Amino acid sequence: MTDTTPNEPEYIVEYVDGPLAGTDDRRILVDGEIEPRIAAFAAVQGLESTFWYLAGERRELDGETRVEYHFDPSDSDPVAPVRETE
């Protein structure tokens, strides 16, 4: 039997703050490099929201590349619901 799983180099994204703090994800290296800025999508009160994160510290742990990403609120969707004024 042949393994058909692509063996592409990847790294682990660690969300250190913002709405996704404490979670992680796997990403594929692009041309052997990490992405300096990534978009993450999550549901907030039932609505899909886009959150932007910026790369920080990079390290190797147990043979895997791990990168800390920090929340960039300037371009992200609001975390708290926007209240309508009457």
Q: Given a cut of 90, is residue 72 above it in pLDDT? A: yes
Q: Which residues on neighbouring strands pair with residue 60, listed in sequence order? A: 65
Domain holding 23, by residue range, is 10-72
In eight-state DSSP terms, residue 8 is -
What number of residues does the chain have? Answer: 86
81 and 45 Cβ atoms separated by less than 8 Å: yes
- Position 79 scores a pLDDT of 77
Residue 44 belongs to a domain:
yes
Q: Given a cut of 70, is residue 84 above it in pLDDT? A: no
Residue 78 belongs to a domain:
no
Write out pLDDT tens, residues 7-54: 789 999 999 999 999 999 999 999 999 999 999 999 888 889 999 999
Structure tokens at 56: 């920080």
CA dist., res. 80 & res. 63, Å (int): 38
- Position 43 scores a pLDDT of 87
The number of folded domains in the chain is: 1
- Position 46 scores a pLDDT of 86
76 and 69 Cβ atoms separated by less than 8 Å: no
Residue 74 contacts by C-beta under 8 Å, 6 or more apart in sequence?
52
- Position 58 scores a pLDDT of 97
